[in-house]
Amino acid sequence: KLFHFGPCRISMSMNEIRAGFAAIKDNIQGRDPIRTVSILSHPHSLHKIKSSEKCCIIHHLFNFYVDKVFKYCTTEDSYVNRKISSIANSFLSIKRNLAPCHNQNMCKCGQESTEKFKQILTNYRGLNVTSAAMKSLGELDILLDWMEKSR
């Protein structure tokens, strides 16, 4: 499937990622007891970001998930771990697909997306690494829902 993020277009196997996440959603979200904090959607929803700045935030978010989330999400359940690494591999290839467009300086980062991503990092750093990574992974559907609206 083709997704448009501002000037950048990426093809993505969204169904595969969705299916992988659906298989472990309750397991991962069940490991996150903190209801009062969301990494991605509060205080400001991803859905409020202007479409022209989506490219910048998606670029940051893929780096965020690859560098700060997947590698800290190991569980005692090998089935869950396999699903996590399959999703991580999908994210790695999407990140690679996005790089050319981003490197051609077509991904403008305005104030809104910069502020939003700063907020995401603040939310992330407000927790210890493992909790923050597991919570971020548990919010993958929030990211996927937002990306879907960008088709």
Partner 1 sequence: GELYCSLPNPRNVHFESINMKNVLHWSAPDGTGDGVLYKVKYSVYGVGKWIRKSECRNISRTWCDLSSETADYEEQYYASVKAFLHGMCSDWTETARFSPLTETKIDPPMVSISSTEKSISIILTAPEKWKGSPEEESISLAQVYPGLQYNVSILNKKTKKRWWFSVSNTTLVVPWLEPGTVYCVSAQIHVTTPLLHSAFSKEYCIATLKDK
The residues binding partner 1 (CB under 8 A) are 1, 14-15, 18-19, 22, 25-26, 29-30, 35-38, 41-42, 45, 47, 138, 141-142, 144-145, 148-149, 151
CA distances from 107 to 59, 104, 138 (A): 8, 8, 27
Q: Decide: 109 and 46 in contact? Cβ < 8 Å.
A: no
What is the closest distance, in whole angstroms, from the C-beta atom of residue 1 to partner 1 in the complex? 7
Q: Which of 14/80 has CB closer to partner 1? A: 14
| Min dist. Cβ of residue 101 to partner 1 (A) | 22
Q: How far is the CB of 67 from partner 1 (least distance, A)?
A: 22
| Alpha-carbon 58 to chain mean position | 8
Nearer to partner 1 by Cβ, of 102 and 113: the residue is 113
Q: CA-CA distance, 112 to 99, in Å (whole number)?
A: 21
**Residue closer to partner 1, measured from CB, 25 or 109:** 25
- C-alpha 4/C-alpha 6 separation (Å) is 6
